[in-house]
Amino acid sequence: MKGITCLSAVVLGSLLISGPSYADPQSDQDDIRAFFQKRFPKVELAGFADGVYAINQNAREQWEEIEEFPPYEDAVDEGQTLFETPFANGKSYADCFPNGGIGIKQDYPKFDTETGQVVTIESAINHCRSTNGEEALPYGQGELAYVSAYMASTSRDNIINVVIPDDERALAAYEAGKKMFYERKGQLNMACATCHISSAGAQLRAEITSPALGHTTHFPAFRFGWDDIGTLQKRYAGCNTQVRAKPFALQSEQYRNLEYFHTYMANGLPLNGPGSRK
């Protein structure tokens, strides 16, 4: 793994960031920001929304050229058409969300105190469909990802504001997501934090590993390996597979909790999705 040096010191830093169980989420957020701003002192906080393109100039120049003719535009247009098409009962997605579903992506995931569960924008889209007599859409890519991408596009530049309410169940969900982020898994015995905290900015084969801070800002994203728009949880499943661990079902409790923790860490960063990534 070329480019990874002083690994023991870096791992110690990530363990300090992970902290004890049931630590204060705000303290977790402060620690992870301090870690990355020390690691990449030339990057302003808002800049981490650009992911690896904030820390590698060559990659950034290529990305900026791609963004001049975004490969996700057709998917967003299709998502808008789907969003605005009424259901069989005459209602639409706009009837299910605050502000008609426009400019709200920055508030997700949310913790639903009635069900005691984390709700992502994608799970809310399918809940909307189900309550209006429509079949649920497959998670990960396709029409659901297009609707989500359109909703994200209406929230671009809004500031992420994920709330953890004063509810023990919400804190437990956050902590479960945090544990999953730091827990090693699979035959390669790697965690999310192994690549995206301990080794952020290092060369891994032909790629530069991206910082965990800001990962959630640009999804759903067009990834060239997918040749399509896909959701954050599709990426989670792909990462699990890459470390030879069995992925969880998309929108499982495990992935929803992981997304809750992961996105809370990005509070205060601007949304810039949908985006394009390798």
Backbone angles phi, psi at 122, to 5 degrees: -70, -40
Of the residues 128, 192, 195, 239, only one is catalytic, namely 239
Q: Which tokens sit at 233?
A: 């949880």
Which secondary structure element, helix H or strand E, spans residue 112, and what is its range?
Answer: strand 110-112
Q: Which amino acid is at 90?
A: G
Residues in the chain: 278
Alpha-carbon gap, residue 274 to 73, rounded angstroms: 9
Identify whether 192 is a catalytic site residue. Answer: no
Residues annotated as catalytic (active site), given as ranges: 239
